[in-house]
Amino acid sequence: MNMKRLLACASTLLFFANFAVAQVSFSLDKASYGSSENIVASWTNGLGNANDWIGIYPRGVTPSPGSSAYLYVNGTQSATVGVVDGSVTFTPVDLPGPGSWTAWYLIDEGYTPAAEGVDFDINIDVGLGSFSLDKASYGSSEDIIASWTVGPGNANDWIGIYPRGVTPSTGSSGWLYVNGTTVATEGVVDGSVTFTPLSLPGAGDWTAWYLLEDGYTPAAEGVDFTIINESAAIVSFSSSSQFIGNELITLSWSLDDAGGNAAIDSLALEDGINPSIDVTALTSIDVNPTANTDYTLILNGGVDTRLITVFKDTGSGAAFSLDRIIYTPQEEVVVRWTNATGGGYDWIGIYKLGDTPGSVPSTAWSYLDGTQVGGGFFPSGSMIFPPLPEGDYFVVLLLNDGHTIEQGPVRFKVSQAGRTRFKVTNISYNQTKKQVTITWTSNPNRTYSVFYSDDGKFSFNSDVDDSVVSGGDTTTLTFSNPVPDAQRLFFRVSENRL
């Protein structure tokens, strides 16, 4: 049996199983841009699909869900009409910032290129009058002063410290807003901030950056500096991931023995549950905890210690949940809980991804009675938090004014682009096995229903599977042809409500 067409529908979009790829000529107006310049992408002999789009990805990354920037061929983020010969303009607001990137012409809401990608660079051109440190080398007990002149005056500009050679991104080793605190209040055109030893990452080679508006775009070249240990110390202690998944997590560390003058007699790793592990001869170890775990690295019996917490993302469940896992900056965040076991000062905290409760303040919080006064115990209930800025977050329920996690964490994202563009990205039919395979973009910790219709009226009153577990950012389902004698079938994929 030859199936004439095999279509799938996600929301209101229909996708054909096969398409012909024309030879598209695709180019950019330049190969190198300043961070305040527009980028013009042009093409001829396009396919004419309204859902064709131009995607920007880090150089070397194959197109897949999660582009760094995109526009449809009509020049907007809403598909309306196809354009055979045309161009789109990315403004600096649309673009991901300085770095090495590749632009792609991609076909019909998917990730198949119609032409070779075009490499380009974005360079820093925002500029400060100056950016400097007071010294190039510091002792481990010294303050570090970062100063600048003629800044943009943004309240949420910040100074970030990263290991030397690392491009600014999530997970800085130390940071302060331009007002000298970790809470943005006002812009400072000419000023300085002081990093104390407690806010610094420890001995090693580092770079300080002036970064714009809670993002990772530098306004000036980074300034290198070194922190020198006067005695044996832990230089760094890091985890390959803040959250536990299916893969092992690698804990890594480095030590400073003052050029051999400070003896390292012992180095132990403790998790608070199992016996202490002697790791004196190691620089890393793989762990696979099943729940939220604190790891403490102890040098020379306690001369220096470092703590890392890794979390198990519980996802939304019956005991603790969010109404969704992706929000826009205009949407309130709704948290629900049941059977809390603490008391009147249990509380819910929202943290930025990378933050550890107790180490940094929460981004938003409230006691279970809905106030910041507390005293009333509500073992079950719900709470609404005001909209949050764009970023990655997690939410936890903590006990008795402390930082012991009772429920969660549950990860979520706030994005101006909104929730993941729900769409079928691939559909195929195996004639020999008479099996259909459908792949679609999805949200973690959700389930989906797949329906079919063979009457051409899109009734979709029959289901293939009504509880397909999400595979993460994308989900794939393979199933036997539900109507082997049909000349054509239509499919619809729906996300199930929590």
Q: Give the C-alpha distances (Å, rounded to integers) separating 101 from 19, 59, 96, 249.
A: 28, 4, 9, 29
Which range, 14-18, 32-36, 234-238, 376-380, is most confident? Answer: 234-238
Q: At residue 57, does pLDDT exceed 90?
A: yes
Please state the rounded mean pLDDT for residues 261-287.
89
Backbone angles phi, psi at 43, to 5 degrees: -150, 155
Q: Cα separation of 490 and 459, whole Å? A: 9
Inter-residue contact 353 to 401 (CB < 8 Å): no
**Lowest model confidence (mean pLDDT) among 19-23, 365-369, 442-446:** 19-23
pLDDT value at 9 more than 50: no
The pLDDT tens digits for 189-225 are: 999 999 998 888 877 789 999 988 888 888 888 999 9
Question: Which pair of tokens denotes residue 202?
Answer: 């420890």
CA distance 4 to 14: 15
Identify the pLDDT of residue 23: 82
Q: Above 90 in pLDDT, residue 246?
A: no
- pLDDT of the residue at 421: 63
Its sign, for the CA torsion 456, 458, 459, 465, is: positive
Residue showing tokens 């063979």? 454
Q: Which residue has the higher pLDDT, 355 or 303?
A: 355
- Which pLDDT does position 498 carry in this prediction? 57
Q: What is the pLDDT of residues 87-106, one digit of tens each?
A: 999 987 788 777 899 999 99
Tell me, what's the pLDDT at 229? 61
How, if at all, do strands 405-414 and 326-327 pair?
Answer: parallel
> Can you name the residues that pair with 110 across neighbouring β-strands?
none
What pLDDT shows up at residue 337? 93
CB atoms inside a 10 Å sphere around CB 252: 14
How confident is the model over 276-299, as pLDDT tens digits?
Answer: 999 999 999 999 888 889 999 999
* Residue 419 pLDDT level (bands cut at 50, 70, 90): low
Model confidence at 455: pLDDT above 90? no
Closest CA to 465 of 481, 450, 484: 450
Q: Do the Cβ atoms of 150 and 130 come closer than 8 Å? A: yes
pLDDT in tens, 120-155: 998 876 668 899 999 998 877 789 999 999 988 889
Q: Dihedral (C-alpha) 179, 180, 185, 190: value to the nearest 10 degrees?
A: 10
> 330: which 2 tokens?
């205009």
Identify which of 142, 157, 304 has the alpha carbon closest to the alpha carbon of residue 225. 142
The least confident of 178-182, 244-248, 438-442 is 244-248
Q: What would the two tokens of residue 489 be?
A: 């079938």
Q: Is the pLDDT of residue 382 over 70?
A: yes
pLDDT over 50 at 62, yes or no:
yes
Where in 124-184 does DSSP place strands (E)? 130-133, 137-139, 144-149, 158-163, 174-177
Q: Report pLDDT for 20.
A: 39
